[in-house]
Amino acid sequence: MFRAIVLEQNPDKSTAATLRELDESALPAVEAGAVDVDVDASTLNYKDALAISGRAPVVRRWPMVPGIDFAGTVKASAHAEWKPGDRVILNGWGVGETHWGGLAQKARVSGDWLVRLPEALDAYEAMAIGTAGYTAMLCLMALEKRGVVPGTGEILVTGASGGVGSYAVALLARAGYRVVAATGKAGGAEYLRELGAAEVIPRETLSAPGKPLQKERWAGVVDAVGSHTLANACASTRYGGTVAACGLAQGMDLPLTVAPFILRSVALIGVDSVMAPRARRVQAWERLARTVDAPLVGTVARRIGLAAAVAEALPLLDGAVRGRIVVDVNR
Ligand code: NDP
C-alpha cells in the first residue's frame, strides 16, 4: 500500500482532491520499459496547483495523481538503463496530467522519462530546484544560445519571487548577469536581493496595457507571467535582445504588436520543460548541480508533508507563495 493524492472529477466538473491509501496494483501500466520508483520528494508547482484546484484543464485522465515532478529511488526496472537503487529525477512528460505523478509515495513511469540525479544533489535539494529551477535553467540556456551573455546588458525577470522567477534570478546572478527582478509581493525586495537581484521593480510597472515600443532597456528577459507583462517586456527589450517566455501567471493572452520584432530585431523564444529533449535536460540538471548550493536551497524552499499539499494550492495560484514548496511524500 502507498499514500497518494488522488484527483477525481465531480459530476459538476469540479475537482475533488483527497489523500488516499492505494494498492500498488493500482499504479498505471507503462507500454514498455516501465520503472517503479519509491518517491522521496515531489513539489507543488503552479501547474500542480491548477490541477488540484481544477482552475484549468491540466488533468486529461481521471482519476489522476498530480505532481509534475519527483525525485526518488528505483525499486524495480524493465528498462535497460535503470536498476534498483538508482537515484532519479522526473520532470514533465505529461506526468501529473495524463499519467500518474509524483504526489505519492510510489510512481510507475517510462524509464525514458527519467534523468539520473546528479551526485551533488540529494532528493530534497533536487526537488527544491524541481521543474521551476530546471525551467529557469532552460531559459538561461535559451538566452545564451542567442548571444545574451553577461556584460551584454540588464536581464529582466518577471514573477520573480515565484518558483521559476526565484531560480531565474539566482542562476542569472550567479552566472554574472545584472538582474532586475519584477515582483508584486510586498517585502519581496529583500528576498530577491538575497538571491542576487541588483534591482527590484514593482510588478505594476509592467502589468498594465502599454505602448507597442517603449524605452529600450533589457538585453534579455525571463518571463513567467505572460499577458501585458510579456508584451511590455518585449516592447522595452533592446535592439537584438531576447525574451524567453515560459509562463502565464498573469494570463495566457499576449496583447502585443510586431513592432519590437520588425523594428528592433527582438526575438521571442518559447521555453517548454515538459517535452524538452533528454540531452538538454541532462545538460540543465548538470549545470544546476554545479550552481545550486545549500544556502540557496535554504533561502528558496520550504518543506511540507503530503497531507498539506492540497491546502497550499490556492495560495500558490493567488501569487501568495514565495519560492518553492517541496513535498516530503513520506511525511
Ligand atoms: P509560482 O506561482 O511559484 O510563481 C508565479 C509568480 O508570478 C508569483 O509568485 C508572482 O510573483 C507572479 N504572479 C502571480 N500572479 C500574477 C499576476 N496576476 N500578474 C503578474 N504576476 C503574477 O509559479 P511557478 O514559478 O511554478 O510558475 C510560473 C509560471 O511558469 C506558471 O505560469 C507556470 O505554469 C509556468 N511554468 C512553465 C513551465 C514550462 O515548461 N514552460 C515550467 C514551469 C512553470 P511576484 O509576486 O514576485 O510578482
What confidence tens digit (pLDDT) does each residue in 177-211 have? 999 999 999 889 999 999 999 999 999 999 999 99
Ligand 1 mean position, distance from CA 153 (Å)? 24
Summarize pLDDT for 113-171 with one digit per residue, the tens: 999 999 999 999 999 999 999 999 999 999 999 999 999 999 999 999 999 999 999 99
Probe target for ligand 1 pocket from 43, 46, 206, with the most ligand atoms within 8 Å of CB: 46
Record: fold of 2-117+293-328:
Quinone Oxidoreductase; Chain A, domain 1 (3.90.180)
Cα 182 to Cα 149: distance, rounded to the nearest angstrom: 20
Can you tell me which residue has the cell 505594476? Answer: 204
CATH 3.90.180.10-classified regions of the chain? 2-117+293-328
Record: fold of 131-270:
Rossmann fold (3.40.50)
CB-ligand 1 contact for 274 (6 Å cutoff): yes
> 119: Cβ–Cβ under 8 A, 6 or more apart, which residues?
289
Three-state SS at 39: strand
What's residue 254's pLDDT?
98
CATH 3.40.50.720-classified regions of the chain? 131-270
Pairing assessment for the beta strands 301-305 and 324-328 based on DSSP bridges: parallel
Ligand 1 mean position, distance from CA 245 (Å)? 11
Q: Report the C-alpha dihedral over residues 56, 59, 60, 64, rounded to 10 degrees.
A: -160
Ligand 1 mean position, distance from CA 321 (Å)? 10
Cα 120 to Cα 183: distance, rounded to the nearest angstrom: 31
Q: Which residues of the chain have pLDDT under 50?
A: none
For residue 177, give the C-alpha cell.
548577469
For residue 27, give the C-alpha cell.
499504479
Pairing assessment for the beta strands 34-43 and 69-77 based on DSSP bridges: antiparallel
What's residue 186's pLDDT?
86
Probe target for ligand 1 pocket from 225, 316, 322, with the most ligand atoms within 8 Å of CB: 225
What's residue 31's pLDDT?
86
For residue 318, give the C-alpha cell.
493567488
For residue 69, give the C-alpha cell.
515532478
Q: Which atom of ligand 1 is nearest to the CA of 185?
A: 46
